[in-house]
């Protein structure tokens, strides 16, 4: 089996409200809306996220997005008024911080520090 890319799913109950929040979180509208209750952001050649209406699973999703600069990402989130938890990690290896959407889904932004020294 050959897998070309991955789309991580984030389940929400209030799709319209969540769509607006994720547009702010990611800094742009969704790249695709292939069907009602589904929006996709293609974040790289190899993957992205799907926001999906699923009231049974809403609020229980968790996804990690690896960014080039956590400091830049946190500044962008602050500019959008999106609160983020404390920065955590392992010195020299990784640092990360988590934003929680209004339904309880968690999106962690992480920066790989290995090899940057």
Based on C-alpha coordinates, what's the Rg of the chain?
Answer: 15
What's the CA gap between 86 and 6, in Å, rounded? 28
pLDDT score of 117: 60
- 105: Cβ–Cβ under 8 A, 6 or more apart, which residues? 10, 11, 12, 58, 59, 60, 61, 62, 63
In the block, tokens 């946190």 appear at: 74
How confident is the model at residue 111, as a pLDDT? 96
Average pLDDT rounded to a whole number, residues 70-76: 96
In the chain, where are the structural domains located? 6-112
pLDDT reported for residue 16:
97
Tell me the CATH class for 6-112: alpha beta
Q: Compute the mean pLDDT over every residue in the chain, rounded to the nearest whole number.
A: 94
Within 8 A by CB and 6+ apart from 61, the residues are 8, 9, 10, 11, 105, 106
Residue 116 burial (CB < 10 Å; 0-12/13-18/19+)?
exposed
Mean pLDDT of 53-81: 95
Please give the residue that has the higher pLDDT: either 54 or 116: 54
Query: What's this model's pTM, rounded to 2 decimal places?
Result: 0.91
Q: Which long-range contacts (CB under 8 A, 24 or more apart) does 39-47 make?
A: 40/7, 45/5, 46/4, 46/5, 46/6, 47/5, 47/6, 47/7, 47/8
Per-residue pLDDT of 1-45, as tens digits, reads 888 888 999 999 999 999 999 999 999 999 999 999 999 999 999
pLDDT (tens digit per residue) in 37-58 = 999 999 999 999 999 999 999 9
């Amino acid at each position: 089996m050959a897998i070309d890319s991955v789309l991580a799913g984030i389940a929400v109950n209030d799709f319209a409200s969540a769509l607006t929040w994720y547009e702010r979180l990611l800094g742009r509208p969704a790249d695709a809306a292939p069907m009602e209750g589904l929006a996709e952001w293609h974040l790289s050649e190899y993957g992205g996220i799907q926001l999906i209406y699923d009231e049974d699973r809403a609020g229980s999703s968790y996804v990690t997005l690896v960014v080039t600069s956590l400091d830049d990402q946190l500044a962008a989130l602050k500019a959008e008024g999106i609160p983020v938890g404390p920065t955590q990690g392992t010195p020299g290896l990784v640092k990360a911080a988590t934003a929680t959407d209004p339904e309880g889904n968690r999106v962690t932004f992480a920066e790989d520090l290995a090899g940057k020294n």
